[in-house]
Amino acid sequence: MPPLRLAFSPDADDLFMFWPLLSGKVDAGGIEFVHERVETEALNARSEAADAPDVCAVSIAQLPAIADRYLLLPHGGSVGRGYGPVVVAKKPMTLEELAGKRVAIPGARTTAYLVLRILVAPHGTFEPVPIAITPFARVFEALDHGEVDAALLIHEGRLTYEDDPSLHRVVELGEAWRALTGDPLPLGGNVIRRALGEDVVRRVSQACRASIEWSLAHREEVIDAIIASGARDEAKVTRARLDRYLGMYANADSAGYDAGVVRSIHALLARGADHGWVARANIELAP
């Protein structure tokens, strides 16, 4: 069998989960992987391409677009429990006041964008202004220069904005989602191509689960490896902040979705479909 193509983001939680698998720390079940690291919105786009990866990290909001070709792996997710992406602005502003404003978003397929649309919908709509996640400083420059009225921050940006006293938090999506639904906020997950067949899907799922469990059991070693790689230097993330970030998004939820998270995935996508923003689709979990 040729090597399987694995694609995930440069984000610290993805690196944390896949590092043992790619470093030979766990048994890959006789499967060889080649990998690429691509930013979140580019991963969402890649999952729709003719040469889409065999295993791909995607936004939960992207699942309906690819459900006919991919299964959702039952582990490897990023979940916010009362926290999540953050909207910030240069002046105090309420969620209701985002209606009619220009808001920087990290991509039209991202879960953060879908959730923000759902939250703002009772008050109107906002103008999305796509700004790529890299270079990391670009979204903050857009705020400083008045190109946008507010910015939706994901990945480490939702922590590093705290260093800038000129920025005001408008809404934390995970907090608002929990207030609205009572559920955790599922943000991202890993998918695997159905065409690989049941046996390969099972073996890959086992290998990915083992990789996550190894990282959780050897957390400090993996953090050391991420720092040594320089992979997140551009995001200016300190060790303390990396530790905090991984505590939020690479944890027991990453080891496996519980019933509440699965329920929330379906509820989120159903709300999006009710608005016509995503297709209605049957989201199936791999073994």
> Catalytic residue positions?
155
Beta strands in the chain (DSSP E): 4-8, 33-37, 55-59, 70-72, 78-80, 86-89, 102-105, 127-130, 150-153, 168-172, 185-193
- In the chain, the amino acid numbered 110 is T
Integer Cα distance of 137 and 265 in angstroms: 31
Integer Cα distance of 40 and 133 in angstroms: 8
268 burial via Cβ count (<10 Å: 0-12, 13-18, 19+): buried
Could you identify the residue written with the tokens 């990866």? 53
Integer Cα distance of 277 and 222 in angstroms: 38
Could you identify the residue written with the tokens 């921050």? 153
Integer Cα distance of 90 and 168 in angstroms: 6
Q: How many CA atoms lie within 13 A of 95 on its CB side?
A: 16
Contact by Cβ (8 Å): 13, 254 = yes
Neighbours of 68 (CB within 10 A): 10
DSSP string, 162-214: GG-TT-EEEEEHHHHHHHHHSS-EEEEEEEEEGGG-HHHHHHHHHHHHHHHHH
